[in-house]
Structures are given as C-alpha cells and as structure tokens.
Structure 1
C-alpha cells in the first residue's frame, strides 16, 4: 500500500552532512524526502509539488529563509504547507518574524535530532498517525478513542444492518455518520442517499414528503411526486430528528418500516420500497416512550442498532484535529494561508462547544474571514465569548514567562486526556499522537503521577 502524499517532506539545506543525516532519519521515521540545496530549488519544488511539511535552513547560499517564505506567500498559487525553520542563535529575531508571517515553528542550532523529529511528527502527523490519514480526503470521524471505535464498526454495520438509530446532540455529525455507512454499503455510484429533517417539515406536508402523492390529491398537487422512501429505493434513507414526529405520523411510519411498502397520499396501490433506514435524534426516545409521546413499538423497531455520537466536549482530543481539518478546507477554498496560534488552540480546547462540530466549523470559517494576518488568534474565533484559562491545570496557575504558560497548558491538556481515557496510558498516548514512552516522559517532566487519579 502506497503512502499518502501528505507523508512527503521538502528539506532545504545546503550543508551536505546535515542534509544527509536528516534525510536518513526522516526516512527511518517513515517519511519520503525531497532534498534541495538552494532556496530557488526549494521555491520551485514547493510551488509545484504537495508536501506535508517544509524543513528549511534560514541561511542558504542564494537567498535566506525569510526571502524564500515571503516569495512563496506572494505567489499564492496554492496553500503553503507548514514551514519549520532551522536557525542559528544569531537569527532568532528573523525566525520570530517568520512566525508572525505564518511559519509553523523553528528550532535553534545546535539542536537535538530527537527534538526536531518530534516537531516534525507534530506538524506532519498524517504520516505517523493512522486515524489522522482521513484528513487526506477519507471520511474519518475523529481521532478520539470512541470515534475510532465507531468508525471501525461501520463496515460491519453497513454489511449487516438494515435499520440503525444514531443519537447525539445537534451538530455532532449524525448525518455524516449516516453518509459514511452508506458509502461502505453502496454497490454502485448511483445508489441514492436521501436525507430529510422530520422536524423541519410541517405535519401537513410530512406525509407527502415521506410517501409522495398522486396528482390532484390536494390543492396544488399538479402532478404525481415520489416521496423520500421511493427516492431512496435501493439505497439509504436518513430520517433526521425522528423524535419530532407526531403520534399519528409515527403510526404511518411504523407500517412503512415493518412492511417495506408505502402508499402515496391520494393513492390506493401499495409500492414496495427497499431502503436501508438510518434514523437520528437528539432527544431521549426512551423517556419519550415513558411519557407517551413516542410509540413503544416504533421505538423498538428502529432501535435495532444504536450508535451514540458523544458531544465534542466529551472528546476534546478531536477539537484541534477537526479545527485543522476545517482550516485546511478554508485554505483550499480561499487560497489564503492561515495557521492557528498556540493561544488560540488553547482557547478552542477550553471552550465547551455547545453547538459541537457545526459550531466549530463556523468558528474556523469566521476566523479565516476576519483575520488580516496568517496567524489566527483566539479573538477571531469567538464573538463575545469569555476565553477562560484552563481551570483544571493547577500547575503554575499564573505563569510569569511564556515557557511557564506553555508548560501549564501542556500539563492541563495531558491531564484532561488522561481523565477522559480513565488513565489508560495506551489509549491516552494514541489520542495525543505520541508513544507510551513519550507520554511517561512528559508526565514525569510535568509532575503528573498515576495516584493523581484519586485526587481527580
């Protein structure tokens, strides 16, 4: 199986010894590397080939890294990949200017090769983390443990289940899950996927939308029309917000599901339908059954297989993954290069996201529109929202230096991930995109120890 194109790195380095050393190490880490030795060669390569990352020395024989980056920004033919600059002590100011222009990071000479490799994996995780390969264009649901488990179950569900119930808050991506099931199940490109929001259609029109109508069956019915059951014949029908249906409509839906036949409004003959039915709701259907607002027989008929999609605040490790995915979509659509600042990333993690993925996507789009700089800061993502610092990161609550603040943020993030995975180190390391050994080292460095599970 070939590697995805995102696993290729562009290395711009004129020192032959360092260049060979970096190429060898990157190859051992699983990356493909194009090594160029001048700025102009690097500029041509980045302009014409897709890379997941550019690693460039600031000092080059023909032009410096700042000039190279500025010229690539000016071309704007395509969204630039992240840039990681290698700099000497005397060029720190230039590296900082590059960060303000939108470069991802820099590392100072002399550097530890392992530290450089760690930065490379952070900036180009697609080559190393299997769940993240979906950012290359597949339909992954996230990198959190619970979403990976759901995704792994989808091929089997698509093969064996004809009726599925998907539950979760508004905006968590229930329709996206339904589409993914359909894509795994379809036998051809023409297999239909038809979706309808039952809560967005008035009761008087819903029956016609579901089952269709005959010509002249009511005022305005100038011709016969197929409903969504007929439109989805041979494919998948997605009934969103099924809990909003009236009891009378639930009776008619139950008959269609049980007998797999429908009768158009104003018609008499039955029409057989063959559909995979996926229902979705953000309501507690079991409680509705107890309250008498949802039919018990319909509940058990659609509750054959249930997938619960947790809200975004329960799987915080997905927040930055999706934020970067949505950002990449904006970059590709608008042609403007943007990166999210570390402070903005922390603000995204701190926010509860009551609107879930839908709200996160809109926030990223808002930031790209409002920001005049390549670096997206926290205030561009939110409108009149208090951006609180992490309350569950007691370490260095009021840091006095940037290093202290970043250490506090990292400690809080790792603690939250450990708690979300019930202190299972393997699952936590996988969610963080690091090895178990790296997780242990970070826990030791940040004074996180296993007996803290009792304290929390």
Structure 2
C-alpha cells in the first residue's frame, strides 16, 4: 500500500500519521482488501475513514467491512464525483476518536462527536444538540454527562418540552408549592432542582412557547428559579444541554424563537446526522440493539440473515435509530428463529428503491415517513397522544407531520 506520492505505508503507521482518509479496492493486486482493513484495524486505534471500492459481485464483502467500522463503499464503474463528495465530507469532519470502544457509533461523524465530549465535559457552556427526530440526541447528552461524571454520582434529568402543555411544563421545570393549583397537594421540586449538581437535558426546546422561553432565559441568566406559586428564589447549579429537530436560526428569523435565548443555548453546538447519511452505523447499532433485546427479554441474541444486511443499509430509515429499534423489537417478538430475514424485518416497510427507479430521494423519504407514521397510528388506534409518545415526538409535531404528509386525522 502506498500514499499519493508512491511512498509505501506500513499498516501500524496509519493511526499515527495524519491521513485524512483511505480509499481501497476490495480486490488489490497483491493483497485482499478485506484482510488489509482487518489487519490495519488490529495494528492501531484511530484509523482514518476507510472507503472501499468494489464490483457489484463483491458487495457482501463491503457490507462486512461496514459492520467492522469502514466508512462507506462505492461500486464500479466508479463515479469520481461521488468519491470526491464522500472524501470532502469525511475530511471536513475530522478524525475519529483515538482510542477506546465507540459508544455512539463507528461512523466518522459519531466518532468525531464522541472525541469532542471529553473536551467540553467540564466547560460551563450550554450545549445545543441538533438533528432529526430519533437520531439519538439524548444518547449523546447522556454520553456527555458520563464524560463529566465518570463515577456516576451526579444526577441526569431529562424532559421533553414538546410533550407538555405550557402550564404543565412550567411546573415540571421549576416545581410548585402546595396549593398553587388544583391537584398541587404538596411542594414539589422541578427538574432544575432535581438536576442540581448534574445535567439537565431539555429535549425539543424549539417547541417551547414564547412565554416559557422568557422564563427559561431568566433561569439560565440568574442561575436560580422560583417555584410556581412561590416567591423564594432557589439557586441551581446545573449543566444545561438542549436539543431540537428544528432549525432554531430560521425560527429566530421568523420571530418564533427568542434571539437572546438562542445565543444563550448555542454556546457549543453538536449536530447528529440522520442515519441515512451514516449508514456505516446501521449494522453496528443493529448488533447492539439485538443484544439489548435479548437482555431485556431473557431470550437468545438474534442476528441478521446475510441477505438482510444490504436492505438494512439501503433503507433510508426516516425515523432514524428510534425506527430501527422498533423494527428490530418487532422482529424479535415475531421471530421463532435466531436469524432475522428481510421478509420479517421489512414486512410493513416500503421496499428500498432500485437505482433505476426515477423518484427523488425527498419523495421517497416522505413516502417512507408516511408509511412509518401511519403504521404507528394504526398500532395505537389513531390516538394522537399514544402515537406521539411511541414516535418520541410531541402531539404538535405529529399533527404537523400528518398535515405535511397528507395523512387524514382518522383512518377512513
């Protein structure tokens, strides 16, 4: 193996030198590309992103390498523009974590996020995590908390701002005193107080009403809160992590989100790409989720049939990791065999497009998302609250998605 100048490269130097990427054919003149990757992986941690080039007949080998942590593969005849786009993307994301077992993903995007966490763990800056619904924003927030609290002695408290009405959200965030409203039979701490000394994770902050945005901004600025119905300021010491699937900058421009709050929470920004843009994580996540299913059910650890791996990689996963988890859980419940077939996994999902089908990616993603949401609605008998909870979004977001995708309010 040689570098662009023709200088031979020893495998053990790959992790030490500043190569931004490796492009390798599966079939090399003097060595097997799969064996080369496995040997390089064993020679040192922190390999640069590795892209395979393969003929159609050798796709199974490329899929196996994705499962072991390769970045991506491209098929022959090689599209140079696609290769350049991929190289440009991986080279601007930075190198993966230098050592240790990955906990967020094996893609260079997730390794870069994981490598960032120790650097920002002990800073006072508020962290904003963005990404589509279901990409794993809370998992990243928890990983950041673990980087700050290795001994596990500090609290991590999470709340979905979009799942509560304004009145309930205020009491959830700041707590309430006895008698402050109907049903307030005793004093209660809010999540700000519960998270004192640890991390408070506010998910879907973009769904917060303007009035609640003002109250949150005041709490962040003053580092103290007042319980609903009370008048005594209570100091709080928290690490605030916020998350949203919205484009907050556009919301600021549209007057839907306060600019001063935006800059307060946008001190450190972490963006999680959708699963379709980091497909090298799909099989890695699948293995972890199947192991978790087995642990929770007390059953055997199931695995994918080899014919299921490519469809899993080709499917766009509009619901991201949350949808992947639901599909695998359903398959584990229904399967009587240790191997999960494509038919079992994709029985209720749209079949991935062939390359020849002239449909835009956007149209296909909308079709997949519509099927996914309709399936969830049927499973929950078209009850909005239950469906939104199953999808991990707010009822408002569910209504917005149904309107955008042309889904009627009830089956009919």
TM-score grouping bracket, smaller chain normalisation: 0.5 to 0.7
Query: Displacement of 1:330 after TM fit?
Result: 2.3
2: CA distance, partners of 1:307 / 1:27: 32
Report the CA distance shift for 1:275/1:376 in structure 2 as closer, same or farther (over 3 A).
same
Partner deviation per Cα, 1:204-225 (whole Å, 9 max, x = no partner): 1111111111111112211111
Within a 5 Å distance, the mapping from 1:210-359 to structure 2 comes to 210-333=173-296, 334-359=298-323
Partner deviation per Cα, 1:416-451 (whole Å, 9 max, x = no partner): xxxxxxxxxxxxxxxxxxxxxxxxxxxxxxxxxxxx
Report the CA distance shift for 1:139/1:216 in structure 2 as closer, same or farther (over 3 A).
farther
Within a 5 Å distance, the mapping from 1:368-407 to structure 2 comes to 368-388=332-352, 390-391=354-355
> TM-score, length-normalised on structure 1?
0.56
2:148 is matched with which residue? 185
> TM-score, length-normalised on structure 2?
0.62
Query: Displacement of 1:242 after TM fit?
Result: 0.4
State whether residues 293 and 301 of structure 2, in contact with CA within 8 Å, keep that contact through their aligned partners in structure 1.
no
Report the CA distance shift for 1:346/1:205 in structure 2 as closer, same or farther (over 3 A).
same
Mapped pair 1:147 → 2:110: yes
Q: Secondary structure at the match of 2:201?
A: strand
Report the CA distance shift for 1:124/1:313 in structure 2 as closer, same or farther (over 3 A).
closer
Structure 2 residues without counterparts, runs of 5 or longer: 1-37, 44-60, 70-95, 358-412
Query: Displacement of 1:125 after TM fit?
Result: 4.8
State whether residues 215 and 224 of structure 1, in contact with CA within 8 Å, keep that contact through their aligned partners in structure 2.
yes
1:437 is matched with which residue? none
2: CA distance, partners of 1:145 / 1:193: 27
Query: Displacement of 1:390 after TM fit?
Result: 4.7
Q: Secondary structure at the match of 1:152?
A: helix
Within a 5 Å distance, the mapping from 1:35-114 to structure 2 comes to none
2: CA distance, partners of 1:185 / 1:347: 38
Find 1:363's aligned residue among 324, 327, 340: 327
Which region of structure 1 is more displaced relative to structure 2, 312-321 or 334-343?
334-343
Report the CA distance shift for 1:132/1:330 in structure 2 as closer, same or farther (over 3 A).
farther
1: CA distance, partners of 2:143 / 2:219: 24
Report the CA distance shift for 1:145/1:189 in structure 2 as closer, same or farther (over 3 A).
closer
Bigger Cα Rg:
1
The alignment yields a C-alpha RMSD, in angstroms, of 2.9
2: CA distance, partners of 1:216 / 1:332: 44
2: CA distance, partners of 1:163 / 1:371: 44
Report the CA distance shift for 1:147/1:124 in structure 2 as closer, same or farther (over 3 A).
closer
State whether residues 261 and 273 of structure 1, in contact with CA within 8 Å, keep that contact through their aligned partners in structure 2.
yes
State whether residues 347 and 389 of structure 1, in contact with CA within 8 Å, keep that contact through their aligned partners in structure 2.
no
2: CA distance, partners of 1:155 / 1:311: 23
Query: Displacement of 1:350 after TM fit?
Result: 1.2
Partner deviation per Cα, 1:122-172 (whole Å, 9 max, x = no partner): 69959xxx97997xxx66111111111010000011122431000001100
State whether residues 262 and 270 of structure 1, in contact with CA within 8 Å, keep that contact through their aligned partners in structure 2.
yes
Q: Secondary structure at the match of 2:105?
A: coil
2: CA distance, partners of 1:28 / 1:154: 26
Q: How many pairs were matched up?
A: 275
Report the CA distance shift for 1:202/1:292 in structure 2 as closer, same or farther (over 3 A).
same
Q: Secondary structure at the match of 1:230?
A: helix
Structure 1 residues without counterparts, runs of 5 or longer: 1-25, 32-117, 394-456
State whether residues 290 and 301 of structure 2, in contact with CA within 8 Å, keep that contact through their aligned partners in structure 1.
no
State whether residues 304 and 340 of structure 2, in contact with CA within 8 Å, keep that contact through their aligned partners in structure 1.
yes
Query: Displacement of 1:321 after TM fit?
Result: 1.1
Report the CA distance shift for 1:259/1:174 in structure 2 as closer, same or farther (over 3 A).
same
